[in-house]
Amino acid sequence: MTADAGLDGGARIGAQLRAARLASRQTMAEVAARSGLTKGFLSKLERDLTSVSVASLIRLCDALGISVGSLFSAAKGELVRNGEYPPINFGGDRVREYLLTPAGEKRVQAILSDIEPGGGGGAEPYCLPTDVEFVLVLGGQLRILVAGEHVLLGTGDALTFPSRAEHTFDVPPGAGPARVLWVFSPALPALPALPSRSPALPEFSHGEAG
């Protein structure tokens, strides 16, 4: 969920997206039509000149026949030292993210997000092909929309919900920056391509965190 890689130092995915498009033998116009994005936007994205929402990135990967997880530059071992977190790009605006779990770990996946005020996953909700999503706010505030319901989390608050329920997130513009830990179980698959929509949305319920 990273913003413009050229501006914030996040992981660059443009070359990977272009390689996937060429490997699938699709023109930019064909990918644009399949993903619902414009050719001009895709051109900028392939050159790492713009950011993309999580929902749009999922649709784009689906059109390319790849998964979002395949774009992650994972840690090679079990130990990831502070300050050596591998950066990843999971879409979104004004977000830097890092993968904390090693490559090949399929049971669980942990992602650390640093989110600027007003930043987030984008206005369009999305769903993910994992069973459970857990979020812990390490600092600041995070607003999550899950299955049409807004939940505001503060430092130390945690929330668990089904990943296939449509959701998105942001940091309120008037708040300070936020640091957030996300945990998915099982891990996001590297293959096959991610579905853009879930056939059924599980019932969502929560209690007050903290």
The predicted pLDDT at position 80 comes to 82
| Counts for the chain of helices (H) and strands (E), in that order | 5, 9
List the CATH code of the domain at 73-185: 2.60.120.10
Q: Where are the domains of the chain?
A: 5-70, 73-185
Q: Which residues contact 37 (CB under 8 A, 6 or more apart)?
A: 31, 56, 59, 60
Q: Is there a contact between 189 and 144 (Cβ–Cβ < 8 Å)?
A: no
The predicted pLDDT at position 70 comes to 80
The predicted pLDDT at position 191 comes to 54
pTM, rounded to two decimals: 0.72
Q: Which fold is adopted by the domain 5-70?
A: 434 Repressor (Amino-terminal Domain) (1.10.260)
113/75 Cα distance (integer angstroms)? 16
Identical fold between 5-70 and 73-185: no
Q: Is there a contact between 75 and 81 (Cβ–Cβ < 8 Å)?
A: no
Question: In the beta sheet, which residues pair with residue 146?
Answer: 149, 167
Using 70 as the pLDDT threshold, list the residues of the chain that sit under it: 1-10, 73-77, 191-210
